[in-house]
Amino acid sequence: MDRSELRSLRKGRDQGEPILDSFTENEDTGPFQKLDIECPAAGIIWPSLFERYLPSKVQHRQRKTRSQGCTTTQAMDDNASALDLPFQCQGRDGDNGFCSSGWLNALPPQQGIPGWQRFVMMRYHLDEFGQADLGDLWAYEGIVLPGDQIILGRWFHPDGVTNIEVSLGWLLNAPLQISH
């Protein structure tokens, strides 16, 4: 769906017609992407360019109480064993393989609900020297909802030149558990 069609739908100009997506038409868009996620002990590929587009660390704000003017740190989820957890992925998109590197960051409870996590990931291909090809990147940023089974976020081209942005939510077939 192109941007003008999306704007039209958001304004309610669908003329009462059914809204079709690529799963209801007869075109073959290929299989869903598959990702295998692990946390390597040796670290991950995360060059400074990745860090510029997707900061790996979360800055937790300190709150001030109105009555005393004191600053307090927001309590983190007791189940969050690591605040900033790097991960590495191998994936398949149809017949093409790709790599991804990213970070999972524990977030403070939201309105008293614990279990929120920030999920950022850069998708890339390796060059002939085993380094990330910085000319073909896709970035993903999202939030893992409490329960660790749904990630809501967006894919985007970090170069800012390519005018493509895709919103995407993932349903995981098991709770997101990344371990060392």
Judge whether 87 lies within some domain.
yes
Q: Which of 142, 147, 143 is nearest to 176 (CA)?
A: 147
Judge whether 176 lies within some domain.
no
Average pLDDT over residues 2-29: 59
In the chain, helix, strand, coil percent, each to 5? Answer: 10, 35, 55
Average pLDDT over residues 165-170: 59
Q: Which of 109, 138, 104 is nearest to 120 (CA)?
A: 104
pLDDT in tens, 28-86: 555 667 778 888 888 888 999 999 989 887 765 555 556 655 555 555 544 444 578 89
Judge whether 134 lies within some domain.
yes
Judge whether 153 lies within some domain.
yes
pLDDT at 12 over 60: yes
- Total domains in the fold of the chain: 1
Judge whether 5 lies within some domain.
no
User: For 43, what's the count of Cα atoms within 13 Å in the CB-facing half-sphere?
Assistant: 3
pLDDT at 87 over 60: yes
Least confident of 24-38, 85-99, 138-152: 24-38
- Domain that includes residue 133, residue range: 29-55+73-171
Q: Which two tokens stand for residue 15?
A: 């003329």
pLDDT at 175 over 70: no
Average pLDDT over residues 117-128: 92
